[in-house]
Structure 1
């Protein structure tokens, strides 16, 4: 009698399922539609090597004055790992946004590991997608 494998998790979780694990500080949060646009933009940026990933690297380049969109994962715990980044973004006038899943963020960046923060820089090859994301991110209200 063959053993039947148990399915631990379905690989595709819905947007609503991902919202359950969000941190209380995850504002402004990208909608499902905007999340998909951001993931596509990140995938294009990876091909051109125009991203910075990870808290230390993103923090270093924000301090150096690099411009772009900062995308943070809303399900990162503990919050203290990256809670200083939104403040840094506001100080340097960088747009930032939260997406629901660090696993999806890492996958969009072409990594097998989850990623809690990515800085997407602008580039000619995906300028239209970048501008569209930037416009939508800037229209969202910042938390108080």
Structure 2
């Protein structure tokens, strides 16, 4: 487990989170990549942040959990960058992503947020 991963995410929660990201990508607004995700969190626009667990070097995303906590934005860890990237609509992996407008995934994002808060 990476240094920045602060809690274990059950496989079913990770699957639900990936599914919500895919729905939000198609019906809402999603930010892709560490820089766009960081900006969305800093501006308070993100409703859910995704952080890949296999990022190397770890410093690329190490700031995100702390920043998201500071802005009171929930975040979920996903096993691989490929999972995050593909769910966000990219053909390559992505170290991070954020849902800005959940679109049809609104209820799913709320459920995931509640579950994440319980896990932490």
State TM-score, norm by structure 1.
0.76
Cα distance in 1 between the residues matched to 2:68 and 2:38: 9
**Structure 1 residues 45-94: Cα deviation after superposition (integer angstroms, max 9, x where no partner):** 00024211111111112121213111100010100111111111111111
Paired residues of 1:73 and 1:98 also in contact (CA < 8 A): yes
User: CA contact under 8 A between 2:23 and 2:103: conserved in structure 1?
Assistant: no
Alpha-carbon contact 2:53-2:80 (below 8 Å) kept: yes
Which residue matches 1:127? 106
User: Which residue in the other structure is 2:84 paired with?
Assistant: 105
Q: Indicate which of 18, 21, 25 corresponds to 2:4.
A: 25
Residue 49 (structure 2) pairs with residue 70 (structure 1):
yes
For these two proteins, the number of residue pairs brought into alignment is 120
Instruction: State the alpha-carbon separation in 2 of the partners of residues 23 and 54 from structure 1.
Output: 18
| Bigger Rg over Cα | 1
Is 1:114–2:65 an aligned residue pair?
no
Q: Distance in 2 between matches of 1:72 and 1:49?
A: 19
Structure with the larger RCO, 1 or 2 (CA within 8 Å, 6+ apart): 2
Cα contact 1:62–1:88 (8 A) shared by 2: yes
What secondary structure, in the 3-state scheme, does the structure 1 residue paired with 2:109 have?
helix
Answering whether residue 39 of structure 2 is matched by residue 60 of structure 1, we say yes
Whose helix fraction is larger, Structure 1's or Structure 2's? 2
Query: 2:49·2:73 contact (CA, 8 Å) conserved in 1?
Result: yes
Alignment of 1:84-95 (within 5 A): 84-95=63-74
Structure 1: which 5+ residue stretches go unaligned?
Answer: 1-21
Deviating above 2 A after TM superposition, structure 1's stretches of 4 or more consecutive aligned residues are 121-124
Q: By percentage of residues, which structure has more strand? A: 2
Which stretches in structure 2 are left out of the alignment for 5+ residues? none
| Superposed CA RMSD | 1.5
